[in-house]
Structure 1
């Protein structure tokens, strides 16, 4: 996702999948211990600073949770791309040509509900 590094995205995936607040140690375990504790702590601190996660003191450690769902983050990213493109119509047309039949049907149904 735009604005997230590889490890930040992995950490966000862990938080999105969990559905509950997680401490640094919990995230580290879900990542398979492939990183150092301090690295994961730093990444979570950066994600908090960027507004991707909220944190709450739980005992002596913070518990982290995503500020928005994966779907909301994806929609926000799409909105940023459209707003910054200079030609939202062309971007949407290129996107529309790339969607699968299933995705096209989902879009049609969503548009019909909103009309």
Structure 2
């Protein structure tokens, strides 16, 4: 994305998450920056990693003078975490869940029923 083009909101965060999920282990800021293959400033990558850590999306461990970052979970785990956050902010959980279930496809509704019944098909 050279030439001063800006990413859509959340696009850089998604790219960083993809880099970290593909990695064999935690990465430091420079490793993330290099794997993004972009002309991002080091400080930009530090900022996005710090924000993602602050949101609870990443863990970090001290490695020398720097931090190394890793996702707290895989993609399904992160999606489940977002769903819990939405529910935590809703006072009428029954209505929220009812509308969610009403919007499911027949296939997804069967999957949900199987999960609730303890079937792992």
TM-score scaled by structure 2? 0.71
Tell me the equivalent position of 2:74. 69
Distance in 1 separating the partners of 2:83 and 2:15: 20
Consecutive unaligned residues of structure 2, counting only runs of 5 or more, are: 1-8
Consecutive unaligned residues of structure 1, counting only runs of 5 or more, are: none
Q: What does the per-residue CA deviation read over 1:69-112, in whole Å, with 9 as the maximum and x for residues that have no partner? A: 33222222212222322211111121112222332222111011
The structure richer in helix per residue is 1
Q: What does the per-residue CA deviation read over 1:28-84, in whole Å, with 9 as the maximum and x for residues that have no partner? A: 233231522220112112222333222223355322112233322222221222232
Tell me the equivalent position of 2:32. 27
TM-score scaled by structure 1? 0.74
1 or 2 for the larger relative contact order (CA 8 Å, sep ≥6)? 1
Give the aligned length.
Answer: 111
- Rg larger for: 2
Distance in 2 separating the partners of 1:66 and 1:12: 7
